Structure 1
Amino acid sequence: MRTLQISAAAETATLALLLLNLVTVHVDEVSALLGPVHGTAYLVVIAATFLVPAPPSARWLAVVPGVGGFLALRRTTRSVRSGR
């Protein structure tokens, strides 16, 4: 669960930085650094969602780029609290 939390935060943060870079100065080196980090965080979110006991709807939410990790995390923690 901790991996999902960290990767969801990394996915959203790197997407925000990539978009900020795009609309402001557009430094190619920043894009070259953050692009692969964002892609890796995205894949880790999907893999971590499949490794934790999560409902199928959380697994589908993990595929949403940018905020899917947080959506899947929210759905997973909600189902754990309710005992499903």
Structure 2
Amino acid sequence: MPPRHLRIAAHAEIVTLCLLLANLATVHDRTLSALLGPVHGCAYLLVVLATLRLTVADPPAKLLALVPGIGGLAAVRRITRRHPTASVTPSPSPPPTGGPGPGPARGWNTTIR
């Protein structure tokens, strides 16, 4: 199952595209286009970046995510069908180093006088 943010972004991408095309075919309201255009663009970028970061997304799923409009949903469907029960997480990050831990930070004088 793909992460929730990827599914939401994929649906937002297709819904905003449909609304933009409906607006273009009917009233062509510039205010609506100015609102929906950036939302669609952000949803598209989020779909692409989220899919590229997934460890279980195979190369065809990553290529599908690049297709504007329907690509996000197609990538989500491909990931779901290939890995229906896999725990989907982004690529692992390196463990944190240094910084405050359970004890005092290194190099600090902790002696109380």
Q: Establish whether TM, by shorter chain, passes 0.5.
A: yes
1:80 aligned to 75, 80, 83, which one? 83
Which letter maps to 1:7?
A
Checking the alignment, whether the CA contact within 8 Å between 1:14 and 1:34 is kept in structure 2 is yes
> 23, 26, 31: which is aligned to 1:24?
26
Which residue in the other structure is 1:15 paired with?
17
Pairwise mapping of residues 25-64 of structure 1 onto structure 2 (< 5 A)?
25-52=27-54, 53-64=56-67
| 1:82 Cα offset (Å) | 8.2
Q: Point out 4+ residue stretches in structure 1 off by more than 4 angstroms.
A: none
Q: Which residue in the other structure is 1:66 paired with?
A: 69
Unaligned runs of 5+ in 2: 87-113
CA deviations over 1:36-62 (Å, ceiling 9, x no partner): 000000000001101222111000000
* DSSP 3-state at the match of 1:8: helix
Shift of 1:78: 1.1
Query: Aligned letter for 2:63?
Result: W
RMSD: 1.3
Tell me by how many angstroms 1:81 deviates.
2.8
Structure index of larger Rg: 2
- Separation in 1, partners of 2:59, 2:5: 19
Cα distance in 1, alignment partners of residues 31 and 7 from structure 2: 27
